[in-house]
Amino acid sequence: MKMSKLIYFWVVCCIYGTVLTIASGCKSGGNKKVFTGDESLTSGLIHISVDESFKPIIDSQIKVFSSLFPQAKVIPQYKSEAECLKDLLNDSIRMVIVTRGLSEEEVNTLKDTLGFAPSWGKVASDAIAVIVNNKAKDSLFDMSDIRSLMEGTSGYKLNPVLDGKKATSTIRFMIDSVLKGRSLAPDIAGADSSVGVINYVASHENAIGFVGVSWIGNPDDKQQLAFLNSVKVASIQSTNDKEKYIKPYQANIATKRYPMVRGLYYIVKENFSGLGRGFTNFLQGEKGQLIFYRAYLVPSKMDFTLRNAEIKE
């Protein structure tokens, strides 16, 4: 009899504790997102690593995705491209967004490590914009000028500043695509972020900076409009008409008339229908592609119509 009463007591305690837990969860729910632990294409929790060059546009993508799917939480970590790629071996990171895809060797290495091949693809194109101080006398450059600035042999009295000292996608582009494998000049300044580049150029008359167009290409964004008021976007010699100097507008990026164009890629480490694949589907779908379009990048999965128009540079 005593044993029966004891068992009954513990059963009651367990039930009471469960009820309190559920009630507490309901009270604290409010605006807080609740996750059941069951992940799907549109629910769950995922940490992703993103090239810092694309923070404005990826923040916008996550904001819309989360509003459409309240049970989904995408937590981005913004860092250099090299650090993002290292995170492919980090168990807590299942998706990275960078400016290049994977080589066959990298795919095979990850396949051996993970047991399956990660998926990757291009979702948009952007460009590296050149910015100068508002008081700068020179704002027209050709690629030989950019190359000499990166090598430290330029006749311009301009001090280049990039978004870091090493391992960023901008630095990789300069070394691979502009210098064709040669090293950067050792005295090139490195800011701690793209915002740092913009602020440095805004406060130094002889500075010339290089940032992703995602930071200064959208005049409808209040923060970017403030950036555009503090610096000038330089014009670069067109690839198809040496008499014209153009800015990194969408049409110039789409046609590659602007010479410093690069892609934006996702890499997902999932062999199931998880949130990483769900967010990837969103980026490639109509809504995600429209967000890229409205942010003045060039969507890679959406038709892009070009019309003849005169633009005063």
Measured torsion, CA atoms of residues 249, 252, 258, 264, in degrees rounded to the nearest 10: 80
Confidence of residue 223 (pLDDT cuts 50, 70, 90): confident
Confidence of residue 33 (pLDDT cuts 50, 70, 90): very low
pLDDT at 45 over 80: yes
If you average pLDDT over residues 270-276, what whole number do you get? 95
Can you tell me the distance from the alpha carbon of 65 to that of 7, in angstroms, rounded to the nearest whole number? Answer: 49
Q: What is the pLDDT of residue 48?
A: 98
Q: What is the pLDDT of residue 308?
A: 56
Domains of the chain plus CATH, in order, are 44-125+262-299 (3.40.190.10), 127-257 (3.40.190.10)
Question: Rounded to two decimals, what is the model's pTM?
Answer: 0.83
Helix (H, G, I), strand (E, B) or coil at 179: coil
Q: What is the pLDDT of residue 22?
A: 35
Half-sphere exposure of residue 262: CA atoms within 13 angstroms, side-chain side: 26
List alpha helices for the chain, DSSP H.
2-29, 55-68, 81-86, 104-114, 143-151, 169-173, 194-203, 222-230, 250-254, 275-284, 286-294
For 124-168, what is each residue's pLDDT tens digit? Answer: 999 999 999 999 999 999 999 999 999 999 999 999 999 987 789
If you average pLDDT over residues 267-272, what whole number do you get? 95
Q: What is the pLDDT of residue 221?
A: 85
pLDDT at 23 over 50: no
Confidence of residue 37 (pLDDT cuts 50, 70, 90): low
If you average pLDDT over residues 90-99, what whole number do you get? 96
Q: What is the pLDDT of residue 228?
A: 87
- Angle (nearest 5°) at CA 199 between 230 and 254: 70
Can you tell me the distance from the alpha carbon of 85 to that of 131, in angstroms, rounded to the nearest whole number? Answer: 28
Half-sphere exposure of residue 256: CA atoms within 13 angstroms, side-chain side: 3
Quickly list DSSP for 61-109.
HHHHHHHH-TTEEEEEEEE-HHHHHHGGG-TTEEEEEESS---HHHHHH
Confidence of residue 244 (pLDDT cuts 50, 70, 90): very high
Helix (H, G, I), strand (E, B) or coil at 190: strand
Amino acid letter, residue 191 = A
Q: What is the pLDDT of residue 218?
A: 83
Q: What is the pLDDT of residue 239?
A: 96
For 202-221, what is each residue's pLDDT tens digit? Answer: 999 999 999 999 999 888 88
